Amino acid sequence: MIESTINQDFPHELIEIVVVDGHSSDRTMSIIQEELSKADMHYRVFYENSGLGYARQLVVDNAEGDLIVWVDGDLVLPTDFIRKQVEFMEKNPRVGIGKGKYGLHEEHSVVADLENVEFVLGFAREGETSSKALATAGSIFRVKAVRQAGGFDTSIKGVGEDMDVERRIKASGWLLCVTPAVFHEIRRSTWSSLWKEYFWHGHGGYYLFKKNKDFIEYYKMFPPILFIIELLKIPAAYRLLKRKVVFLLPFHYAFKRVAWIFGFLRNYLVTN
C-alpha cells in the first residue's frame, strides 16, 4: 500500500500523506514511517483509538489541500492513480466524490476471485452514479463537500462512516461519480474471513439504520430477486475471469447477505 502511494507520478511536492494509526500493535507503523522517511513527500502521523468515523474526520480536519485520496491498507495503486483522480475532479467541479474503478487481478482463491469480480462489475460504468455505497477505498473526496455536509460522524466506531457521509454529501447537492482511474484491492481469501467482514458490516449497518431508516435497500434482502441479479452477472463475470468459478456468484452473494443480517441482528439484540 505505502509503496504504491510513494511511487505515484503526480508531482510529489503537491502530495501530503496523512497517516492515521488506530494504535496498531504490530510493526505496521514502523514499516510505514521507515518507507515515508525515504520518500520525497511531506507527511504527518496521527494516532487515535475512537473508531473509523473519528479517524476519517481527523484527516478532514487536518487537510491542507482541496482534495483527499483515501488509501486503505489493502489497496494497491497504479502509478497514475492520483493523477487521474485529481484531473477528473478538476474537470468536474460539481463532483463531491470520485470513486476509482476496481481492477481485475486473480488471487487464486475462490473467495477472493468472486469478491474481486463482483466489485469490478459493480463499478465498471464510469460517470454519475446514484449508488449509496461508493465507500472511501479508492475514492477522492472534495474537502469542501465533506465539510459542507457536516463531516464524518465521529460516533461511528466501526463500519459505515463512509456511507453515512456519502449520503449527506449527495443531499448537499454534490454529484457522486465513478472515474476512469483504476486501483486494486486485496480481498479476503477464506469463507470464514469473508463472513467476519460482512458480519462487521451488518453490525455497523444497524447504527446507520437507526439514524436513517432508508439506509437498507430491502429488495437486496429478498432471495429470489437477489438470485436473479447474481445470475445475470455470470456471463460478464465469465468474460472477465474465464473461470467456471463465477457460477458460484449467487451463492457467494447470498453468503455475504446472511453474514450481514446476522451482524445486524446481533447489534439489534445487544442494544435493545
| Proportion of the chain above pLDDT 70, given as a percent | 94
What is the C-alpha separation between 272 and 270, in angstroms, rounded? 6
Judge whether 123 and 16 are in contact, CB under 8 Å: no
Assigned C-alpha cell, 111: 473467495
- pLDDT tens, residue by residue, 30-43: 777 777 777 888 88
| Mean pLDDT, range 15-27, rounded to an integer | 79
Whether pLDDT at 28 is above 90: no
Judge whether 101 and 180 are in contact, CB under 8 Å: yes
- pLDDT tens, residue by residue, 83-133: 999 999 999 999 999 999 999 877 679 999 999 999 999 999 999 987 657
| Local confidence band at 3 (pLDDT 50, 70, 90 cut-offs) | confident
| Mean pLDDT, range 63-70, rounded to an integer | 94
Task: Give the pLDDT score at 117.
Answer: 93
The sign one gets for the Cα dihedral 45, 143, 145, 133 is negative
State the DSSP H helix or E strand holding residue 3, giving kind and residue range, or none if neither.
Answer: helix 2-6
| Local confidence band at 202 (pLDDT 50, 70, 90 cut-offs) | very high
Of the candidate CATH numbers 3.40.50.2000, 2.40.30.200, 3.90.1310.10, 3.90.550.10, the domain formed by 1-187 belongs to: 3.90.550.10
Whether pLDDT at 211 is above 70: yes
Residue 114's closest CA among 262, 266, 240, 260?
A: 240
Residue 176: other Cβ atoms inside 10 A: 21
Whether pLDDT at 214 is above 90: no
Question: DSSP letters along 159-226, please?
Answer: TTHHHHHHHHHHHTT-EEEEEEEEEEEPPP-SHHHHHHHHHHHHHHHHHHHHH-GGGS-GGGG-HHHH
Task: Give the pLDDT score at 164.
Answer: 92
- pLDDT tens, residue by residue, 246-266: 999 999 998 998 999 999 999
Q: Where are the domains of the chain?
A: 1-187, 190-272
What is the C-alpha separation between 171 and 173, in angstroms, rounded? 5
What is the C-alpha separation between 234 and 255, in angstroms, rounded? 17
Q: Residues for the chain: how many in total? A: 272
pTM, to two decimals: 0.90
Which residues, including other chains, have CB under 8 Å from residue 64's CB and lie 6 or more apart? 16
Q: In this structure, what DSSP letter does residue 27 have?
A: S
Q: Which residues of 149-174 are buried (b: 16+ CB within 10 A; e: fewer)?
A: beebbbebebbbbbbbbbbbbbeeeb
